[in-house]
Amino acid sequence: MKKTSTPVLPARTAPGDGPLLAVDDLHVEFATRQGVVKAVNGVSYSLNPGETLAVLGESGSGKSVTAQAIMGILDMPPARIPRGEIRFRGTDLLRLPEDQRAQVRGQRISMIFQDALSALNPVFTVGWQISEMFRVHRGMSRRDATKKAVELMDRVRIPAARQRVNDYPHQFSGGMRQRIMIAMAIALDPEVLIADEPTTALDVTVQAQIMELLAELQRESNMGLILITHDLGVVADVADKIAVMYGGRIVENALVHDIYRSPAHPYTKGLLDSIPRVDLKGQELYAIKGMPPNLLDMPQGCAFHPRCPYRQDDCVTDAPPLYEVGPTRGSACHYWREVFDDSRR
C-alpha cells in the first residue's frame, strides 16, 4: 500500500455529499501453499445512511471477505489487498493508519456474525461483554456500563434483561444470543452495521424476528446496513438493493424489486428459479448445474460460463464488464438482454 498523504477520519456529523460507504474496485488475494487465491476480484458497491444493501452469494463468492476487508480484520498476510479503495465518508480506510482504523472498528462500523455462540466469549457473562464496549471505548465505570448493558438488552428485546445480565452465552437460546451480539454491535451507535449471515444458524421463525429487529434498529438510528446472506428469502422484505456475487465479482446489482421481477444475469435467474414454489409442487426442482468455481483456478472469461445456459463462444474468452441495464442496475453478462427478456416473460 502506498502512503502519499495521511488521510484523516471525517467526523460523525460530516456533511457527506457522497455515499456513506463506498467499496471501489476492491481486490483481495490470499497467498496459500497451492498458489494465490483470488477471493475478491474488483468488487464495487456503495451504501447510504438508512439504506440496506444485501450482498448475496454462495460460499466462496467473496462476500464475507469483502466485509472483513471493510472491517480491517483480515489476517495480512496471508491476505493481501493489491488494489481498491474502501471509502468511509470519503476517506479511504485502506490508507488510514492503524490507530485511526481502530477508531472506526466497533464505533463507526460494526459487525455481527453468523454463529453468535462461537462469536461470544464463553468465559464471560453477556452483561460483562456488552458493557465492555462502554468501559473500553467510553471509559465508563463498571456500574454505569452494566446499566447501559441492561438498557441495550431491553432494546434488542431480551426478556427479563435485568435478571439475565449475569448469565453466560451458553445459557441463552440461539436467537437470544444473536440479539446479544447485535446489542454489542450497536452499543456505540455505529454508522454502518455489517451483518454476516446473521440468521443462517437460526430457525425460520427466529430468523424473521431478528430481521425485524435489525430493520427496526436501523430505522431508529438511520445507520447503513450491509446484509450478507445466501438466503434469497431473507433479503426480499428488508433490503433496498441487492448485489449478487459470484466468483469474487459482482455479477448483478439492482434495486430489490427489480431483481425479483426480472433478473438480468443467468446466475441470479438460476437462483430465483431454484426457490421451491407451491404452484410447481410435484415437479422436479430447478438447480444450477455444475460446481462453484475453484478460486485457485478460475475459468477464463466469464467465471459463470461453465454452468451457464446462455453461454456463447465469447463468454469463454472475454470476461464481461458490468453492463448498464438501467439507471440503478447493472449485469455482468454479455447476453443480459436475452436473460432479461426471458425472465420478464
Partner 1 sequence: MSDTIAPSARRRKHGGGTAKPPKAASLWSDAWHDLRRRPLFIGSAVLIAVILVIAVFPGLFTSVDPLNAASCELAKARQPMSGAHFFGTDNLGCDVYARTLYGARNSIVVGLSTTIVTAVVGGLFGLVAGFKGGAVDTLFSRITEIFFAIPSILGALLILAVFRTGNVWTVTLALAVLAWPMTFRIMRAAVITAKSQDYVVAARALGASAPRIMFRHILPNAVAPVIVVSTINLGTFIAAEAGLSFLGVGLRSPDISWGLMISDARERFLEAPAPLLFPALFLSLTVLAFIMLGDAVRDALDPKLR
Residues that bind partner 1 (CB under 8 A): 71, 73, 102-103, 105-107, 110-111, 113, 115, 117-125, 132-133, 136-137, 166-168, 170-173, 181, 184-185, 188
Give the shortest CB-116-to-partner 1 separation in angstroms: 9
Residue nearer to partner 1 on the CB measure, 190 or 320: 190
Min dist CB 110 to partner 1, Å, is 6
Q: How far is the CB of 153 from partner 1 (least distance, A)?
A: 16
Which residues are CB-neighbours of 188 under 8 A, at least 6 positions away?
Answer: 106, 107, 110, 133, 134, 137, 138
Q: 3-class SS at 249?
A: strand
Sequence-distant (6+) residues with CB within 8 A of 5 are none
Closest alpha carbon to 38 in 24, 50, 26:
26
Instruction: Rank residues 124 and 275 by Cβ distance to partner 1 and give the closer one.
Output: 124
Instruction: Name the residue nearer to partner 1 (CB basis): 67 or 302.
Output: 67
Q: Which residues are within 8 A (CB) of 280 and not within 5 positions of it... i.e. 6 or more apart? A: none
What is the smallest separation between the CB atom of 225 and partner 1, expressed in angstroms? Answer: 15
Nearer to partner 1, 221 or 298 (CB): 221
What's the min distance (Å) between Cβ of 209 and partner 1? 18
Helix boundaries (H) for the chain = 63-71, 98-104, 116-119, 126-138, 142-155, 161-164, 174-186, 204-221, 232-238, 256-261, 266-273, 313-317, 336-344
Q: How many residues does the chain have?
A: 345
CA 233 and chain centroid, separation? 15
Nearer to partner 1, 187 or 234 (CB): 187
CB of 168 to partner 1, least distance (A): 6
Q: What is the DSSP letter of 93?
A: G
Residues 6+ positions from 309 with CB-CB distance below 8 Å: 266
Q: Is 67 helix (H, G, I), strand (E, B) or coil?
A: helix
87: how many CB neighbours lie within 10 A of its CB? 20
How many alpha carbons lie under 13 Å from residue 14 in its C-beta half-sphere? 16
Closest separation in Å from C-beta 175 to partner 1: 12
Nearer to partner 1, 178 or 218 (CB): 178
Beta bridge partners of 23: 45, 86
Q: Which one, 119 or 298, has the nearer CB to partner 1?
A: 119
